[in-house]
Amino acid sequence: MKKPQILIDSVYYTKYINLAVGSGMIESLELSNLEFENFVKLIDEEKANYKYGKDKWTIKQVIQHIIDVERLFVARALSIARDEKTEVFGFDENLYADNDYSNRLTLEYLINDYKLVRQATVSFFKSINLDNIDNTVGDTIKMSPRIIGWIISGHSTHHINVIKARYL
């Protein structure tokens, strides 16, 4: 499952796809998982509760955001792969962060949750009917299971880069 070939720079998800590495989607998901696991080893519990600005998220909230987005996008990929033509819905990431309760969770719990979610994501994409990998929905912004898998891979890399630049 190679990267999508035609990417439009003005489409918001292109930046995530461009960050994803690997020659195939499964490899890319596994590499970004390894990148995440190696990176979070550098963060302790105290630092995980840090936010660099008044209205910014903590590192725990960023990790929870990565998990939430992955869950949402796999659900979207599933519905598209099953030939559902419902338009992809948006979500308010700040509302999710305001209600995620990550401050009550340990960093270890969040890391384990991330690993489980990524394991389920890889399992889903390994089991997908390849005849449906390029099913699309959307008139203005096209989404397909292929696009979504690559977005997921690059999305975690994007947030690791944000944490490195602004938190550590």
What gap in Å lies between CA 151 and CA 139, rounded to an integer?
19
Is residue 111 one of the residues assigned to a domain? yes
Count of domains observed in the chain: 1
C-beta of residue 152 within 8 angstroms of C-beta of residue 35: no
Angle in degrees, 0-180, between the axes of helices 59-81 and 145-166, rounded to the nearest 10: 170
Is residue 128 one of the residues assigned to a domain? yes
Domain containing residue 73: CATH number: 1.20.120.450
Is residue 34 one of the residues assigned to a domain? yes
Is residue 2 one of the residues assigned to a domain? no
Is residue 39 one of the residues assigned to a domain? yes
- Give the single-character DSSP code of 143: B
Is residue 7 one of the residues assigned to a domain? no
Write out pLDDT tens, residues 80-117.
999 988 777 788 999 999 999 999 999 999 999 999 99
User: What is the percent of the chain with per-residue pLDDT over 90, rounded to a whole number?
Assistant: 77
Is residue 122 one of the residues assigned to a domain? yes
For residue 129, the enclosing domain spans 14-166
